[in-house]
Structure 1
């Protein structure tokens, strides 16, 4: 066999799987696009659960872990209080590491603005269980789990648990529709098969440069056209890249995978599940998928304290749990978990994607390894190779040759992909499914409502799209092949092959160069002198203790309740 024949044989072997992939991926995307246009073109129906007899309405414990000042934090957290759900069926818990957190005064103001709720601020450093020297609780290094552990622990056994990131805004009808999906409530008093776990489609809105520090006013926080210098691009362009990713590639595949339901696919912005289920199936005696030694990891949410990707792992555990009469996961189509973002540097976007991929490569390795092939540049390279190679390799199939060269075919494919992404982006950022009222912030109104966002012109949209696509493969290579360490919540971790993390106390320069960069405090749209949302909430001064750190027993266990009073 000549060298030419050998190369042709290798090309044949490569072209066939490339052709199969080229056919398969558009089908998956079409499923996601269909779902987006079907469910995000108008507000979803009113929820059934809030209208049930009072004794039949499920009780929800809403847990919001808070860390630092985030863009539009007040509006995001206030949306929790504005749910169309019976007030006496809601328990709200806002969790912070300590009272020195910059967001703490804002939380105090928030609870004062919404009296009459069962709402409290829980401070991790005053947790009597975590900080009891006589009965130390063995929790892993995950800072988010340590933060919310008490809120989860104090929830009632039959509660629904709804964990929402602090930087997420939710519409007023979301609580009811999440409960409907989870419990199987349908119109007309009907019941359908309930789910083990439900969640929302996330949407990022970059509000950089548009009254980032202003209050909720007409048009405040809405993306507008503006001129950026290269310095602006590097200092604030990460938000545009994140916005682009979440409204194009992520949205299409997230919607599709959660439609076909072949595997758990969770991003973790807004998740709801039953406390009873998680408590039971984190017990090795009840869950055949766990090992006997897992009994030492605690129960409920504490079970995941040694892992960073707790959202995915909670969903994965419930997915595999033998719970009869329940479907696995349900995406609440029509409701968006809207995240405003401001001032994110390109390096911080890189770091966020690297952190996610370095954790994800051990949780869903197969999906992570093929991820470059779902990006436009690599996919169309495979597609153009298959289209221009197969007709000549298999003349017996009578496949007509493609009247384009490989580069021309690739360019056409990328152009079609870009047009489709623009259409999907416009649909999601129109926010047509959002129930707009007088309390809806401009960033959540989208481009379809007066006073909302302004559609980004192509002169702004195209650079962000190309930047996101070009960076996808380098980010994947750096994250998956060239490191295992991450930085999260200002702490350093090494991700282990068993998906657990180990805290790193001291970091060498060589290690630091391979870590995912942390989002700097000033890149969230605020600096040390700024106010949040025009609410007059300043960063508190750091407390000092003359003789070292006080013991927990010597501190006041400060809880801030919904009636505006400090309690012991």
Structure 2
């Protein structure tokens, strides 16, 4: 019985190992095909301002984020004929405002304005910050860009082109059409602390590969909110996924219905996908995410936080299988399965697994950085490999730590993530 059981277990692990490697290679292949070449300009850039679809860019801000001036400036230099920029803050004394004024003064020909509004409808400060800009935007097409994100000049044109690929510009998309365009986030590090370097290694390899692979398979929504283009009319149609809000006499719809969730971006993507049957698209652009000077503890805390949020928003089997998608754990069970079935040296198989995994990740990173070489600072491959090794070694301990609690700390506030994915504030409102 023990021999039969180990044989069946070896077959299971070998199948799982093949599936994990298939996803890794799919993400790598997507990166090589989509990003490892110079971007072509969008045909929309040659249109007049009267012919091009208008876009409202919304930058929700809170304080002095990393490289803020340059990230905000990037949306003032877009090669696109018709857009406006709204800078949104909730406090008239927000430290971001002087930076915003400098950027606006430098580009007086770009239609831009500031909205200051302290409306609160839920625990998510980003949703609170976006509510009034959503209402006052001049155009139905909204491009929400996080404050740490910088983009290249052609990104908007290519995004709008992808959004309008199969429907009329005069109406919001309907079932079966593209309803959201997003970009894969790529970390840029100027302050090279070990925490920021490890975070960069994670985002530019493991996260990017899985993000691209899941979106390539397209069996479900997989979206982060760093850079999202969608229709305000579509967002207004969404009903809230929050059980708490649905129990109210008049539950909010649209954006306000996502205020109980810290990962509102993912929930909105799911809403567009499942409620409205709208597809998602990606362009050949990346969203450059500027990281600050993180400590290793900062990195661990960030990963633990989003793991605890994500485990309440995905099927339990996905959470339980997550460690098995990492290089070290996969190398261990894959090597054992191959040895059990075919006979080979487990240490040799494990080292080959790690070596090939690293080469695939380095190739993915290189492809994704093709069009941003003038943005990113010089980097050392040796230092990157050390940060990558640290990331791989920390993956399992971080997952185990994330499983021990449902409490997260975000922007200095404590929340408990409940089974619906909603966040409940634990400390007092101020």
TM-score of the superposed pair, with normalisation by structure 2: 0.91
Match of 2:28 among 27, 33, 44: 33
Match of 1:306 among 257, 260, 264: 260
Q: How has the CA–CA distance of structure 1 residues 67 and 175 changed in structure 2, closer, same or farther, with 3 Å as cutoff? A: same
Alignment of 1:44 onto 2:39: yes
Q: Distance in 1 between matches of 2:98 and 2:240?
A: 38
SS of the residue corresponding to residue 377 of structure 1 reads: helix
- Offset at residue 241 of structure 1 (A): 0.7
- Offset at residue 409 of structure 1 (A): 1.7
Structure-2 residue corresponding to 1:378: 329
Structure 1 contact 80–170 (Cα < 8 Å) conserved? yes
1:77-476 map, 5 Å: 77-86=72-81, 89-125=82-118, 130=119, 139-156=121-138, 159-184=140-165, 194-208=177-191, 236-282=193-239, 293=247, 296-323=250-277, 328-332=279-283, 334-365=284-315, 366-390=317-341, 401-402=342-343, 404-428=344-368, 431-434=369-372, 442=374, 444=375, 446=376, 453-458=377-382, 460-476=383-399
Structure-2 residue corresponding to 1:515: none
Q: Distance in 2 between matches of 1:110 and 1:352?
A: 30
Q: Distance in 2 between matches of 1:263 and 1:414?
A: 29
- Offset at residue 411 of structure 1 (A): 2.2
Deviations 1:238-280 (A, max 9, x none): 1001110111111111111111111111122101111111112
Q: How has the CA–CA distance of structure 1 residues 183 and 109 changed in structure 2, closer, same or farther, with 3 Å as cutoff? A: same
- Offset at residue 293 of structure 1 (A): 4.0
Query: Unmatched 5+ residue regions in structure 2?
Result: 168-175
Please give the root-mean-square deviation of Cα atoms over the aligned residues, in Å. 2.4
- Offset at residue 153 of structure 1 (A): 1.9
- Offset at residue 54 of structure 1 (A): 4.4
Q: How has the CA–CA distance of structure 1 residues 13 and 290 changed in structure 2, closer, same or farther, with 3 Å as cutoff? A: farther
1:490-501 map, 5 Å: 490-501=412-423
Match of 2:411 among 464, 468, 489: 489
- Offset at residue 408 of structure 1 (A): 2.6
Q: Distance in 2 between matches of 1:415 and 1:30?
A: 14
Structure 1 contact 279–299 (Cα < 8 Å) conserved? yes
SS of the residue corresponding to residue 312 of structure 1 reads: helix
Q: Distance in 2 between matches of 1:80 and 1:300?
A: 26
Structure 2 contact 60–147 (Cα < 8 Å) conserved? yes
Deviations 1:272-329 (A, max 9, x none): 1111111123379xxxx99964774423211101111100000000001245xxx511
Structure-1 residue corresponding to 2:7: 12
Q: How has the CA–CA distance of structure 1 residues 336 and 170 changed in structure 2, closer, same or farther, with 3 Å as cutoff? A: same
Q: Distance in 1 between matches of 2:426 and 2:45?
A: 47
SS of the residue corresponding to residue 68 of structure 1 reads: coil
- Offset at residue 57 of structure 1 (A): 2.1
SS of the residue corresponding to residue 256 of structure 1 reads: helix
Deviations 1:490-532 (A, max 9, x none): 222111111111111169xxxxxxxxxxxxxxxxxxxxxxxxx
Structure 2 contact 245–252 (Cα < 8 Å) conserved? no
Structure 1 contact 353–475 (Cα < 8 Å) conserved? yes
Structure 1 contact 143–489 (Cα < 8 Å) conserved? no
Structure-1 residue corresponding to 2:172: none
- Offset at residue 184 of structure 1 (A): 0.7
Aligned length: 420
- Offset at residue 53 of structure 1 (A): 5.6
Deviations 1:433-483 (A, max 9, x none): 34x8xxxxx5x2x4xxxxxx324132x12221111001001111111x201
Deviations 1:153-179 (A, max 9, x none): 2225x6111111011110001111111
Q: Distance in 2 between matches of 1:254 and 1:197?
A: 15
Q: Distance in 2 between matches of 1:261 and 1:208?
A: 36
- Offset at residue 83 of structure 1 (A): 0.7
Structure 2 contact 166–178 (Cα < 8 Å) conserved? no
- Offset at residue 331 of structure 1 (A): 1.5
Structure 1 contact 363–499 (Cα < 8 Å) conserved? yes
- Offset at residue 106 of structure 1 (A): 0.9
Query: Unmatched 5+ residue regions in structure 1?
Result: 1-5, 131-136, 187-192, 210-235, 391-400, 437-441, 447-452, 508-548, 550-568
Q: Distance in 2 between matches of 1:185 and 1:171?
A: 24
Structure 1 contact 247–425 (Cα < 8 Å) conserved? yes
Structure 1 contact 181–194 (Cα < 8 Å) conserved? no
